[in-house]
Structure 1
Amino acid sequence: MQTTIFIIDDDLVSQFATRYCIEQYDGDFNIVACGSAEEGLKLCANLLAEKEPLPDIIFLDLVMGDMNGWAFIDNLELISEGHKQPDIYVLSAFVNSKDRAIAKEHSLIAGYFDKPLTKASLEKIFAAKTTR
């Protein structure tokens, strides 16, 4: 079964690196890259409007332009109440203990990884998915 993955990051190099890492992993993936949190939220809203499922996994940068990753999560919660939620993994280039602590306690965030995404990180993610 195909796994749909959204990469939400305003940095093209990070998007490319994340996509490349996922493509090198053994799996059937539909990868959608979004250049902003607003774009990612709009795509999620469109899926819900069309009665389509949200992505299985979202790789989310926290530090972006107008809408940051935290605002994306808050807005996603508002529009998707009552629907199956995606597993959100924060990808950050900044080691921020406050963000890590918030992420660890947040019900929608399944994990927090430093950029760039690695094969070892993907192995942890997909091992956790199979045990749920």
Structure 2
Amino acid sequence: MITKCKIKTLFIDDDRGTNFLNKHIAKSSDSIVSIHLMHSGFEALTFLEKCLNDSSEKPNLIFLDINMPAMNGWEFLEQFYKLNEDLVNEIKVVILSSSDDPKDLNRFESNKRLLDFVRKPLNREALDSVLAKVG
């Protein structure tokens, strides 16, 4: 079952090819009404801070890569959770990673605020599964 909600997505991944694929997969869903691609945690935080003043583009779903330079996904989450509580509580976060590191899986499982852990590459079946959890 696909969610009836209209989803605004934010993909955070330093790999442009991965973001291109993610955008292509997301565009195939009628539930997704906007797609933003960010190539770093810093860029995403700046975007989210702007959403505090202009909520028209505020995502309600973030797909987050873990392994990124400068600021990895876990570091992004630390800063994200420090943003405005209302903003943070309205956004679901999904880890989208190729990581097989047990430490990453343990961190995911111990963080009850995260919606899901999806293995790269994103495909339509995985996207539909996540969207069903959002709705």
TM-score, with normalisation over the residues of structure 1? 0.89
In structure 2, C-alpha distance between the alignment counterparts of 1:80 and 1:17, rounded to whole Å: 31
Q: For 2:107, which of 94, 98, 102 is the aligned residue?
A: 102
1:117 pairs with one of 111, 115, 122: 122
Is the 8 Å Cα contact of residues 26 and 32 (structure 2) preserved in structure 1? no
Question: Unpaired segments of 5 or more residues in structure 2?
Answer: none
Letter in 1 for 2:111: H
| Corresponding residue number in structure 2 for 1:9 | 13
User: Which deviates the most, 10-19 or 82-91?
Assistant: 82-91
8 Å Cα contact 2:9-2:32 kept in structure 1: no
CA distance change for structure 1 residues 129 and 2 in 2, over 3 Å: closer, same or farther?
A: closer
| Cα deviations by residue, 1:8-57 (Å, 9 ceiling, x for unpaired) | 00000110111111111232420000011100011001111x05274110
**1:52 and 2:51 aligned:** no
Give unmatched runs, 5+ long, in structure 1: none
In the other structure, the counterpart of 1:33 is 37
Indicate whether 1:74 and 2:78 are aligned: yes
The answer to whether the 8 Å contact 1:38/1:72 transfers is yes
Q: Which residue of 2 aligns with 1:19?
A: 23
% same residue: 25
Q: State the number of aligned residues.
A: 129
Q: Quick check: 1:85–1:108 contact (8 Å CA) kept in 2? A: no
Deviating above 6 A after TM superposition, structure 1's stretches of 4 or more consecutive aligned residues are none
Q: Which has the higher contact order (CA 8 A, sep 6+)?
A: 2
**Residue in structure 2 matched with residue 93 of structure 1 by the alignment:** 98
Whole-angstrom CA distance in 1 between matches of 2:31 and 2:90: 21
Task: Please state how far the C-alpha of 1:2 moved relative to its aligned partner.
Answer: 3.4
RMSD over equivalenced CA pairs, Å: 1.6
Output the CA distance in 2 between the equivalents of 1:26 and 1:85: 21
